[in-house]
Amino acid sequence: MENFAALIAIDWADKKHAVSLYDETTGHREQTTIKHTPETLQEWALTLRTRFQGQPIAVGLEQSRGPLIYALLKYDFFVLYPINPVTLAKYRQAFSPALGKDDPSDADYLLDLLQHHRQRLTPWRPDDEKTRTLRLLVEQRRRLVNDGTRTTNRLTALLKSYFPQVLSWFGDLRTLIVCDFLDRWPTLAAVQEPGKGHYAAVRALAFKWIRIIWKCWQTRTPYNEVIYLESLRKSGSPLLKFAAEHQA
């Protein structure tokens, strides 16, 4: 195994982190806490570099704590050992099944794993810059997709309770036309045209969409709202003003 001047374990938290350190020279353990700020992390890291004269230091932390890993990457003397949260949980349970308040912290258990079982752990080798950038973009996209799914699910549940017709009128709620429709007609009473029956309104809407779908089928092109708005402009349709207001 690689020799280290010290072993460090970090228990991540939102505002501050619990840190356990084992000094290989003295054989002593130390516990401390550091605030979750870039300035504090930098001061702490530089202090360790000076104290151990730039020698390699092993750092154990839960692998799910991505932001902490990225924050420590810029220090070349740290060798990171991401530990599976499940591994940590089972190790903790094996020695503290009752979970008493006087039990060691997760940082102590992480340090135990690093000190006594490091031969079974794999040090984390950072990706190159392009791979890291791609990983961050993928994570961001996943969060955006999940946020959109949650919002759509909440909207679906809400519409089921008071305006279920919208769910049958539109196949996908994640479109601009649905947003504009609900902004203009938020209730069933608002969408019903005075003097016109339900079936007359449905027939008028169906006739409009049949023409759009027929044109898309003829030209073998998907529906594009920009093209539709341009056709309204060319024909001088009064709908263009309403559509333009709601595009903004």
CA–CA gap between residue 155 and residue 76 (Å, rounded)? 48
Question: Which pLDDT value is given to residue 194?
Answer: 67
- Burial class of 87 by CB neighbour count within 10 A (0 to 12, 13 to 18, 19+): middle
Which residues are CB-contacts of 124 (< 8 A; sequence separation ≥ 6)? 63, 69, 80, 81, 82
Question: Which pLDDT value is given to residue 44?
Answer: 94
CA 183 to chain centre: 28
All structural domains of the chain with their residue ranges:
6-126, 162-247
DSSP per residue, 175-220: SHHHHHHHHH--SHHHHSPTT--HHHHHHHHHHHHHHHHHHHHHHT
The predicted model scores a pTM of 0.52
Instruction: Tell me 53's DSSP state.
Output: T
Q: Which of 103, 118, 110, 126 is nearest to 8 (CA)?
A: 110
Q: What are phi and psi of 99, to 5 degrees?
A: 55, 50
Asked whether 186 and 158 are in contact (CB, 8 A), the reply is no
| CA angle, 197 then 202 then 206, to 5° | 150
Question: Which pLDDT value is given to residue 129?
Answer: 76
CA–CA gap between residue 126 and residue 73 (Å, rounded)? 8
CA-to-CA dists, residue 145 to 28, 153, 168, 198, angstroms: 48, 12, 23, 36
What does each of the 248 residues of the chain score in pLDDT, given as a tens digit? 678 999 999 988 778 889 999 999 999 999 999 988 889 989 999 999 999 999 999 999 987 656 778 788 889 899 999 998 898 888 888 887 666 555 568 899 999 999 999 998 888 876 777 877 887 888 899 999 999 999 999 999 999 998 999 998 887 888 888 888 888 888 888 877 766 666 776 777 777 778 788 888 888 888 887 777 777 777 776 666 666 665 54
DSSP per residue, 93-162: HHH-TT--TTSPPHHHHHHHHHHHSGGGS-PPPPPPHHHHHHHHHHHHHHHHHHHHHHHHHHHHHHHHHH
CATH of domain 6-126: 3.30.420
Structure tokens belonging to residue 6: 């010290």
Question: Which pLDDT value is given to residue 184?
Answer: 83
